Structure 1
Amino acid sequence: MNPLLIPILGISCGLLAIFGGVFVRPWFKLKEQRMAMEADMIAEKAAQYASKQAVLEERVAVLERIITDQGYSIAKEIEELRSLPPRQLEPKPDLR
């Protein structure tokens, strides 16, 4: 074995440790901060979707109540509208 191999390996390990402390550790911290920020944004979006869902559920409940209060009269009115002839649209006069 070469007698210079041991000091070269020692210096290489030291340089590797310094490189890891200077470059790799901050890179991992940056990644961790980015992941934390993304998690916060995702949680905020989930809260927004939950509030929108609550509003939509409330609106659906109101529509269901309206429909059930009126019974089948809405279906009857829709069928009556289907039996009417389609309206003819008249062209609007040119207002020059």
Structure 2
Amino acid sequence: MDPDKIETISALVPLIGVIGILGIAGWVVTTWLRVKNGYPLESSWGQAVYPKTDQEAAERIKLLSQENAQLRAELGAIKDRLANVERIVTDGGYVLEQEIESLRGSKSN
């Protein structure tokens, strides 16, 4: 091989290495930014890698939605019951009854 060609190739090898490393670093940074900001990752063909929408995942989402609706209904009922308990406790008659009961208790001791 010609010494000039060897010299040219040996001068280009570090440049090609730097370009390769910069390309890989750019790909890593791009992927990190996508993951950080919630964008789906893509395969080499441009298809989303995650989330996969298969039958099992769709069924799980359906079940979780139903459970969420049931829990919201139960929470609403509990809020109503709590409001009634707060109304009873803050009612003046209830406080008066508690005071009478405490006085009865102190007399019997």
Q: TM-score, normalised by structure 2?
A: 0.41
Q: TM-score, normalised by structure 1?
A: 0.46
